[in-house]
Amino acid sequence: MKWRLRVVHTTGYRYATAVNAVLQRGQTEPRHDDRQNLMVARLESVPAPVAYKYTDYWGTEVNSFDLHTPHTELKVIAASVVETTDQAAPSADATWSQLRSPEVLDEYGEYLE
């Protein structure tokens, strides 16, 4: 069964006095993989910042921005649309030696700690 989902997350900041600079980083985009297709992702901020995006060590898209305009409030809105598919059945024929392989340990090492 396929699902198409729209996800919206809003974060707001209100400061007692005006701030002159802000540096923000967020992992707000859903992953794109074999079970989930990221159709669109958007990050907005009021006031508008200088923004850039990069992929971190784990393959997560990171949105980062800095704002150098005096402000007393900051609103950040992350919106995405994803389409999901059914989960594949787990492999029933994996051996213990395959699960202990250097490739599996390298890919899933953080989960196995």
What are the tens digits of pLDDT across the range 38-83? 999 998 988 888 888 998 887 888 999 999 999 999 999 999 999 9
Give this prediction's pTM. 0.69
Buried b (16+ CB within 10 A) or exposed e, 12-24: eeeeeeeeeebeb
Strands (E), 1-113: 3-19, 22-26, 36-46, 50-55, 61-67, 71-84
Measuring CA to CA, which residue among 52, 41, 46, 42 is closest to residue 75? 46
Q: Give yes or no for residue 87 having a pLDDT over 90.
A: no
Residue 89 binned pLDDT confidence (cut-offs 50, 70, 90): confident
Residue 8 binned pLDDT confidence (cut-offs 50, 70, 90): very high
Q: Give yes or no for residue 11 having a pLDDT over 80.
A: yes
